[in-house]
Every structure is written in C-alpha cells, then in structure tokens.
Structure 1
Amino acid sequence: MATGSWKEVLSPALTSTSDPPPIFDGTTRLYISYSCPYAQRVWITRNCKVPSMEHDNEVKGESLDLVKYIDSNFDGPSLFPDVDIMYAPFIERFQPALLDVRKYDITDGRPNLAAWIEEMNKIEAYNQTRRDSKEMLKPARNAFWLISEVCCCHEV
C-alpha cells in the first residue's frame, strides 16, 4: 500500500445551492460524504492507488464496485482481498460509540482485534480518511439524549 505523510485538503461540501462541477471533463473526481463509512472504504482505496471514480466517461457509484473497479483498472497490488478496508470504517465508528454510550470496549479480551486496530491506525491511506471520534459521537449522543427525553416517565 502507498504510504506518505501528506495531509489531504478536503473540498467544501456541496449543498443543494452549489454549482455542480463539470462532468466528463477529464478530471478525476471522487464524490463522497465525508461521514459515510461506505464512501470511506472507497476513499481509503483511492489513497492507496490512483483515484478514479469518473473514468472512461463512466461514473461508478457503489463502494464495493468502486474498490473492484480501481483494482481491475489501475496498476498496483490488489486491495480488494484486504477486507480491512471494508471493515475499518465500521470499527472506527462502533468502537468509540460502544465505549461512550454503553461503556463497552470491544477490544477487551480480543487481543487480535486490538492489534488489528493498532495496525490499521498505522496506514496513512486510512488515516487520511478518519474522522475525529468526538465529532462522530455528537449525533449519536444527541439522538440518545432525545430518545431518553421522549421515553422517560416523569412524575407530576
């Protein structure tokens, strides 16, 4: 896998009022939501290889299809067999959420999982796509607060 110590400058998010970028102008673009774990898998793969989501006048859209497409159309070692890319975005979200909300550490008694997380955190292509766990937890905390407020019984 390609590694390096560069920091990607993220484009501002497009909104419903944004001018759309030109399509099929020869520019390679990756259209993603920075907070989506499915998009993050493609972003990790893209960081390990040549980016290409718009290629040969085609736009690919499903994350696993994009990973397969990148592997089959660009030079470099195959990344699809590395299921790490497929699981990392979800573990990245579940581990802090379960620890914060349920006080449950998924790595307790699972040394292989703890080692896997540690090794994944050493891969620069993955680190470029990671989000701050505190930022990821804000919506979950708000949702749990709302649910607890709605579901609580108060004596009058």
Structure 2
Amino acid sequence: MQGLQGKIKLVAIDLHNKPTWYKEKVYPENRVPCLEHNNEVLGESLDLLRYLESNFEGPALLPNDPAKQEFAEEMISYTDTMSKTVFASFKGDPVKEVEVGISSSGGTFDHLEAALGKFDDGPFFLGQFSMVDIAYVTLIERFQLFLQDVWKYDLTAGRPKLAAWLEEMNKISAYTQTKHEPQKLIEHYKHRFLIDSWHVYLGSRDRRLMLTYQNG
C-alpha cells in the first residue's frame, strides 16, 4: 500500500519489554506504532494513516466522493469509542458471568455490521478498500482472537457483512504480512486484562478479609 513495500525498514518492538533506546532516542511517548520520516517521528495509528496518505505516492486511501469522505471521518472517529467499549468489557469483575462483558460490546459490532452496508459497490466500509478498513482491521483481528479463545464468542456470528469483510481483508497481502502471531496476541491480552484483573480483585478481597479480621 502507498508503494512503501521495500522502501521502509520495519523494526519489531516487544510490547512486554520495550527497549530503553526506543523511548530515549526514538519516541518519548513510548507507544507503538511510530514512523520516522524526514528526521521527524510521528505516532498514533490514525495520524500515521493520514500522514501516509498525504506524503507518499500510491493508491488513494480515501475516495473523492464527498459522502464517502464524510462517512470515513465518522467511522475513523468511532474507532476510539469502539476500542473503549470493548476493552472495558474485558476488564469486568472476574466473578461475574462473562456474558455480561460480551453483551456490552455486542452493540459495537452490530454498528460495524450496519456500517458495512452503507455503500453497495464493494465489501469494504466505503465500498472499495480505504483508510477506514486499515483503521479497523487490526482492532477486529485482536478482538476476534481474544473473544473466541477466552469466551468462545464469535463476533462474526449473525453478522455476515463483517464476516465477508474479514475474508476480503485476509486476501490483501499487505495486511496479512503484518498480522500478529495469534497465540502471542492472545497471551498478551490475557496478561493485560485477565491476570491483572484477578490481581486487583484478589488484592481487594484480601484487604476486605484483613479489615474483617481486625474489626472482629
């Protein structure tokens, strides 16, 4: 995409153990991804997409159609809402039924299913492949793997457009070459959301028990 293959150097960063040089010499925010270009370092995924669209040659990532451009901005803005909603469902009280967490994010995936029916000239969010698809695919990839592995919840069930969209995305080599290793991603999310949640819960329970004992 954007004619960048073979022109850029990819550097893998271990999210569990980020090297000190990355924060000190490359990106003080210490988040990934980032792009170093023309002696400038840029971060934030959506900002990077817009930068690539504006500064590199290649197929356009946004159409000229004003209606599609407007919808693109609407959908790109929604990525933040979707992420917060789904991530929040991962952080629920571990003793609760997992369906509670799942149901809170179900409407989010229904929203994507409806959005994929907005234009009928292709299987993507704007009909044809665009920046919007890039913005969503890594998020959906992660959510699909984690929900399926932990709660046996298939986010494409009953959502044929979302299933077809994922199938089409997996035909794009520029995307499949950058996909996460599924098991590593699942383990990362388990550590981030499940193990840490249990630590918080158990810590709270231990404090309650201590207070009960002292007050008894």
Please state which band the TM-score falls in when normalised by the shorter chain: 0.5 to 0.7
**TM-score relative to the length of structure 1:** 0.62
Structure 2: give runs of 5+ residues left out of the alignment: 64-129, 206-216
Cα drift, residue 110 of structure 1? 0.9
> What amino acid does structure 1 have at the position aligned with 2:137?
A
Map of 2:40 onto structure 1: 58
1:127 maps to a residue whose letter is: T
Residues 53 and 66 of structure 1 are in contact (CA less than 8 Å); yes or no, is this contact kept in structure 2? no
Preserved CA contact (<8 Å) 1:2 1:125: no
1:1-156 alignment, distance < 5 Å: 1=1, 11=11, 13=13, 15-16=19-20, 20=25, 33=32, 39=33, 53-55=36-38, 57-80=39-62, 82=130, 83-142=132-191, 143-145=193-195, 147-148=197-198, 151=201
Q: Which has the higher contact order (CA 8 A, sep 6+)?
A: 1
Asked whether the equivalents of residues 121 and 127 of structure 1 are also in contact (C-alpha less than 8 Å), the reply is: yes
Q: Deviations over 1:93-112 (max 9, x none)?
A: 00111112222101111111
SS at match of 1:60: strand
Given the superposition, is the C-alpha separation of residues 58 and 86 from structure 1 closer, same or farther in structure 2, using an over 3 Å criterion? same
**Bigger CA radius of gyration:** 2
- Partners of 2:51 and 2:199 lie apart in 1 by 46
Q: What secondary structure is seen at the aligned counterpart in 2 of 1:59?
A: strand
Query: Which amino acid counterpart does residue 138 of structure 1 have in structure 2?
Result: E
Superposed structure 1 runs of 4+ greater than 3 Å apart: 8-14, 17-21, 145-153
Give 1:144 shift. 1.6
Flag the structure with higher helix content: 2
User: Structure 1 residues 61, 140: closer, same or farther in 2, change over 3 A?
Assistant: closer
Q: 1:97 to 1:120 in 2, by over 3 A?
A: same
- Identity among equivalent pairs (%): 43
Compute the displacement of 1:117 (Å): 0.6
Report the residue type matching 1:144 in the other structure. Answer: L
Post-superposition shift, 1:2? 7.0
Structure 2 contact 2–57 (Cα < 8 Å) conserved = no
Structure 1: give runs of 5+ residues left out of the alignment.
Answer: 22-30, 34-38, 43-51
Provide the rounded CA distance (Å) in 2 between the counterparts of 1:115 and 1:70: 27
Q: How many residues align?
A: 125
What do you get for the CA RMSD once the two structures are aligned?
3.6
CA contact (8 A) 2:147 2:154 kept: yes
